[in-house]
Amino acid sequence: MKKIHIIAMVLIILSVGVLFMASNDIATYSTFSEAHASGKKVKVAGQLMKEKDMFYDPVKDPNYFSFHLKDVEGTETKVVLLGAKPQDFELSEQVVLTGKMTDEEFLATEMLVKCPSKYKNEEEYLKLEQG
């Protein structure tokens, strides 16, 4: 057997091992109740509840933005994002959060909002409908 084949095999075995390790990092979406139970940092996806209050007053705290989200199980929770309110947040629907649950609220450090450009078109169409 050639050295190169041995090395290639070692690399293949290694990559299987590393991939196995790496797969531990792959997350699954949690719900608010699971986040509550585990107390760990998790990802939660949900719908923005537009009818509920959103609060961002930079004069009080530029790193505190709160809103309400409904997860896949239908649990509504107040979310606090430790950061500024993103531009056009009101237009978004689906929100993916990374963070952890505290007693009453979900403390988020990262947030991914579905690109609002998709909804921009719909808005324009609505305007056209009226016009």
Partner 1 sequence: MNEIQYTGEHLIFGQIGHFFIILSFVASIFGAIAYFNAVQKRNQAISSSWIKFGRLGFWIHGFSVFAIIGIIFYIMANKYYEYSYVFEHVSEDLPYKYILSAFWEGQEGSFLLWMFWHVVLGAILLFKAGKWEAPVLFCFLFVEIFIGTMILGLHFGEIKIGSNPMVLFRDTAALPLFAKEDYVLQLAQFADGLNPLLQNYWMTIHPPTLFLGFASTLVPFAYAIGGLWTKDHKEWLSPALKWGLFSGGILGTGILMGSAWAYEALTFGGYWAWDPVENTSLVPWLVMLAGIHTNLIAKSTGYSIKSTYLFYLLSFLLIVYSTTLTRSGVLGDTSVHAFTEMGLENQLLIFIFSIVLLCAYHMIKGFPSVAKHEKEEAFFSKEFWMFIGSLILIFSSVLITFTSSIPVYNKVAGLFNYDLGLTSPIEPVEHYNKYQLWIAIFIGLFSAFAQYLRYKASNWDNRKSKVLKHVGVCLLLAGLVSYLTTLWIEVNAWQYIMMMFFAYFTIFANLDVLLTFTKYNKTKLASFTAHAGFGIMLIGILASGLNKKHISTNAFAQRGLLPDDMLGKNVLLLKDSPMHINGYKVTYTGDSIVDNTRYFKVNYQRIDKNGNTYEEFNLAPNALYDSKFTKIAAYNPSTKRYLTKDIFSHIAGLPPGESDIEEAKAREDSLNWRTFETLIGEDLVFSDTVKINGDSLYIKKFKAQITGINKSPEHPEYEQEAGDIALGIKMNVQFLEKEQVHEIEPVIVVRSSLLYNYPAQINDIALKIKLNENTLSETYLLEDQLSYQDFNFNQGQSINFNGKKITFAGFEQKPIHPDYIAEEGDIAVAATLQIESDNQVRTASPVFLIRGNRPFNLKAEVEELGLHFRFTKIDPNSGKIYISIAAQESPGKLPFEIATNSFRSDYIVLEAIEFPGINLFWLGTIMMMLGLFFGMFMKFSQKELA
Specify whether the CB–CB gap between 98 and 43 falls below 8 A: yes
* CB of 68 or CB of 97, closer to partner 1: 97
Distance from C-alpha of 131 to C-alpha of 125, rounded to nearest angstrom: 9
Is residue 54 involved in binding partner 1 (CB under 8 A)? no
Burial environment of residue 105 by CB neighbours within 10 A (0 to 12, 13 to 18, 19 or more): middle
* CB of 30 or CB of 77, closer to partner 1: 30
* Of residues 65-104, those binding partner 1 (CB under 8 A): 82-85, 87, 94, 96, 98
Q: Please state the closest distance from residue 16 (CB atom) to partner 1, in A.
A: 10
Distance from C-alpha of 42 to C-alpha of 29, rounded to nearest angstrom: 7
* Of residues 4-23, those binding partner 1 (CB under 8 A): 4, 7-8, 11, 14-15, 18-19, 22-23
